[in-house]
Amino acid sequence: MGKVGRGWAVLWVFSSLILGGFNPPMARAKTEVKPLVEEVGTISPAEAVHRFSGQAGDTVTIQLDSQSFDPVLSLRNSAQEEIATNDDFGGSLSATIIIKLPATDTYTVVSRSFAGNGGDYRLLVRPATDYEVLYAQAEALTTNQQYPEAIATYTKAINRDPEQIPAYLGRIQAQLTQVSNDPSLQISQPTDIPLAVRQAVIADLEKVASLIEVKGSTEWATSLRQQAEVLRNGNP
């Protein structure tokens, strides 16, 4: 069976989570820390620029949220060299950068919309939580196709903060992508996915369903539970 057939598992489950319309935000940090930047404003249009002072080795989280536009973030050093950028973090439409600062410097955060339109936004720059550091490491491992390491790191992130939906979705993606890239497997239906992987993904789907149901997303909770049943029994 060709690559398209093996990739079916990822397309079926993960597109139902993300492309289907579920847009999970990263929960706010539980620990009260003083933000380096906290700004509520309007881009009208073009971009908004904010600066903060950072120490070498500090790990910071930069979050840009908006109900008006698709946010894009860029982080630049004092030489105006871009050192990080993000759009659609963790399967959401929000933009988030989690970075260990390379030098003691004055950094510039550039906030803009993907389409170039204006609108209201909220920008927050603060010290990163332990969960966020682990989640960012797991995302980088997934991008580098180091799936076993990514799965283990997502698990560490979940153990650190079990209420964070993006880590479960990341672990699902890493598990299914690892399976789809395995040339020894022939996958044409859900029950062809190895049992251990199916059980792990089912558990994550049901956990995410419970978390988003608490947030009021009952329709998507029902959809995710239906996906879990398909993984158990086949016939998508």
All residues at 6 or more sequence positions from 195 whose CB lies less than 8 Å from its CB, including other chains: none
Please count the residues of the chain: 236
**Distance from C-alpha of 85 to C-alpha of 22, rounded to nearest angstrom:** 23
All residues at 6 or more sequence positions from 19 whose CB lies less than 8 Å from its CB, including other chains: none
Q: How confident is the model at residue 8 (pLDDT cuts 50, 70, 90)?
A: very low
**Distance from C-alpha of 35 to C-alpha of 41, rounded to nearest angstrom:** 16
125: which 2 tokens?
């720059």
- Cα angle vertex 73, ends 72, 78, to 5°? 150
**Distance from C-alpha of 34 to C-alpha of 54, rounded to nearest angstrom:** 14
Rounded to two decimals, what is the model's pTM?
A: 0.76
77: which 2 tokens?
């050093």
First to last CA, the chain: 19
C-beta atoms surrounding 141 within 10 Å: 20
Q: What is the chain's mean pLDDT, rounded?
A: 83
Domains identified in the chain and CATH numbers? 3-26+131-233 (1.25.40.10), 37-128 (2.60.120.380)
Each residue's pLDDT tens digit, 128-164: 999 999 998 998 899 999 999 999 999 999 999 999 9
Does residue 12 carry a pLDDT above 60? no
- Cα angle vertex 202, ends 196, 208, to 5°? 140
* Amino acid present at 197: V
C-beta atoms surrounding 161 within 10 Å: 18
Does residue 219 carry a pLDDT above 70? yes
**Max mean pLDDT range (31-40, 110-119, 214-223):** 214-223
Each residue's pLDDT tens digit, 21-60: 444 555 555 545 667 767 676 666 668 899 999 999 999 9
